[in-house]
A and B are shown apart, each in its own frame.
Chain A
Amino acid sequence: MFNLPEHSFYMMLFVTLLLVTASVARLLLKVKNPQTDHTELKQRIQSWWWMIIILFGILIASPTVATVFFALLSFLALKEFFSIVPTRQADRRVLLWAYLAIPAQYYWASLNWYGMFIIFIPVYVFLFLPMRAVFIGETKGFIRSLGTIHWALMLSVFCISHIAYLLQLPVLNEQAGALGLVLFLIFITQFNDVCQYIWGKALGKNKIIPKVSPNKTWEGFIGGVATVTIVAGFLAPYLTPLTLLQGLVAGALMAVAGFVGDVVISSVKRDLAIKDSGTLIPGHGGLLDRIDSLIYTAPLFFHYLYYLHY
């Protein structure tokens, strides 16, 4: 189908079936308790459908389309970040240069130029933006502003761009293709969010960091990490070059990293006294609310895989 590698095709089919199950479950819930308000759940599932349709669409289309899409994702995330954090009016031109780093970064990824891809934002952009800001000449709030801008770039551009680079790696698992890596990364990350949520709802008692996120509990965290570790262990040989044992480690790594990404973005929002970072995705909030864990899992999964197999 669609000339897709067999394993990636079945993975997409499986995710679609999961969503169908979720939609059916919601309808049953509505029949069972017609009084309760299910608007948010409905919006959430509808948004999941849109996200999955768009993601699978661009992955099926071509690696170039997918790379452009992830660049767009970085742009929307960076814009959301710049919009909620305090920036100075004088920084407008610096911010524009920060935006211009996005096409460059994804271009290096599409060229498969690893050396440039990996140092462009941490070195060149890091050194360039303060220089541009110095020429504008506003020193009041300089440290905080430049720190914020670079941090935003690292999170929403550098980290996210690793997903696009996965598509450039030589294919080692012929049956899954390059798509398999992206599907594995995104599925495990989102599955981890769901698992931690469900375990927390079911057993949650002891809070991990009540000041940052009152809903995060040890029970949810440990339950999530255990479930995701096992699932990733079995899924990894199917979709990636990783062996079962390496897959287990990848799962544990991504489960912990996903949790950290979630609470890091939560801290940002708590600092700003806002609940959501935007309104782009109905039922979920902003884009950053959705990709917070992916920001941490993408580079960590990439470098784990890269160290072991490339």
Chain B
Amino acid sequence: MNRLLKILFFALVVKPVVFFCLGLNVFFKARLPRTGAAIIVANHNSHLDTMVLMSLYPLLSIHRIRPVAAADYFLSNRFLAWFSLNIIGIIPIKRRAGSAHSTLFDECHNALNNGDILVLFPEGSRGAPEQMSELKRGVHHLIKSRPTLNVAPVFLHGLGRALPKGEALLVPFNCDVVIGEPIAFVDDAKQYIHNVGKALSLLEAQCLTRQCAVTDDQQRES
């Protein structure tokens, strides 16, 4: 039942909105991991990021894509929790310190064992429109035990203009989705995260709409 609702939601809402209200310039689509287990690491500017990444997949395999999302935000009320868990299929994760590292990623490991594709935003939260914040080390912790896992970097540009943090009004813009080569595993967490950041900024340079990143101080503060 939920699977059907999910397919309907993506077929009737997400895909049409992504096509008409956004419009994507997808570069190197062949690099996108087709099957799991795999991880997509992307920059994060908007709630649309997850929708856009999932919309790249055919309807019948969308249930394989599992965005890893903050429990404190997405499970904050009953409707949002039901929607996030059943329609989007998020893996909730507790952001607050205090929870043990060993159990933190249990559900992520289950999903990977199951052959799913995880979507991770190493920036943690959406941040200011079209600006990258510091990357967190969680990804490295998660894949330490799976050094051969396919980790594909994806850079999204323009979604922070279409629907930035704190806005409910979607303004149509074409957005870029640039997919990179898999990131090789290295033991040193700091080095690994640095590599991820570098891979993402290399992809940013290939964006078609990058010219529009004209920000103004007023918006940066809010």
| Chain A interface (Cβ < 8 Å from any Cβ of B) | 75-76, 79-80, 82-90, 92-93, 95-96, 99, 138, 140-141, 272-274, 276-280
Nearest B residue to A280 by beta-carbon distance? B23
> Are A276 and B208 in contact, CB atoms less than 8 angstroms apart?
yes
Task: From known contacts A76-B23, A80-B23, A138-B216, infer whether A89 and B129 are also in contact, taking CB-CB under 8 Å.
Answer: yes
Q: A86-B213, A279-B25 are in contact. List 8 more A-B contacts (CB 8 A).
A: A80-B23, A83-B212, A85-B211, A87-B212, A92-B167, A96-B169, A138-B218, A278-B25
Chain A: minimal CB distance from B85 (Å) = 31
Comparing B36-44, B48-56, B171-179, B190-198, the segment that makes contact with chain A is: B171-179
In B1-32, which residues have CB < 8 Å from any A CB? Answer: 23-27
Which B residues are CB-close (under 8 A) to A277? Answer: 208
CA gap between A186 and B4 in the complex, in Å? 44
**Interface majority SS on B: helix, strand, loop or mixed?**
loop
0/1 interface trace, chain B 147-170, chain A, CB 8 Å (1 if under)? 000000000001001001001010
Which A residues are CB-close (under 8 A) to B214? Answer: 86-89, 141
Chain A: minimal CB distance from B107 (Å) = 36
Which A residues are CB-close (under 8 A) to B158? Answer: 83
Which A residues are CB-close (under 8 A) to B217? Answer: 140
Nearest A residue to B24 by beta-carbon distance? A279
> Are A79 and B211 in contact, CB atoms less than 8 angstroms apart?
no
CA gap between A95 and B162 in the complex, in Å? 11
Selected A-B contacts with CB under 8 Å, 16 pairs:
A75-B172, A79-B172, A79-B173, A79-B174, A82-B172, A82-B212, A85-B211, A86-B212, A86-B213, A87-B212, A88-B216, A89-B129, A89-B215, A95-B171, A96-B171, A276-B208
> Are B216 and A93 in contact, CB atoms less than 8 angstroms apart?
no
In B182-222, which residues have CB < 8 Å from any A CB? Answer: 208-209, 211-219
> Are B218 and A90 in contact, CB atoms less than 8 angstroms apart?
yes
- Which among A83, A84, A273, A280 has the highest number of chain B CB atoms within 10 Å? A83
> Are A85 and B212 in contact, CB atoms less than 8 angstroms apart?
yes
Nearest A residue to B208 by beta-carbon distance? A274
> Are A279 and B26 in contact, CB atoms less than 8 angstroms apart?
yes
> Are A92 and B218 in contact, CB atoms less than 8 angstroms apart?
no
> Are A83 and B216 in contact, CB atoms less than 8 angstroms apart?
no
> Are A83 and B173 in contact, CB atoms less than 8 angstroms apart?
yes
Which A residues are CB-close (under 8 A) to B173? Answer: 79, 82-83
Residue from the list B23, B25, B27, B211 in contact with A86, Cβ < 8 A: B211
Nearest A residue to B172 by beta-carbon distance? A79
Which B residues are CB-close (under 8 A) to A76? Answer: 23
Residue from the list A87, A99, A278 in contact with B174, Cβ < 8 A: A278
Which B residues are CB-close (under 8 A) to A79? Answer: 23, 172-174
Chain A: minimal CB distance from B75 (Å) = 29
**7 nearest CB pairs, A to B:** A83-B174, A89-B219, A86-B214, A279-B25, A92-B171, A83-B209, A272-B211
> Are A99 and B212 in contact, CB atoms less than 8 angstroms apart?
no
- Which among A90, A93, A99 has the highest number of chain B CB atoms within 10 Å? A90
Residue from the list A75, A83, A84, A89 in contact with B164, Cβ < 8 A: A89
Which A residues are CB-close (under 8 A) to B213? Answer: 86
Which A residues are CB-close (under 8 A) to B167? Answer: 92
Residue from the list B161, B169, B174, B219 in contact with A80, Cβ < 8 A: B174
Which A residues are CB-close (under 8 A) to B175? Answer: 83
- Which among B129, B215, B218 has the highest number of chain A CB atoms within 10 Å? B218
CA gap between A82 and B211 in the complex, in Å? 11
Chain B: minimal CB distance from A150 (Å) = 17
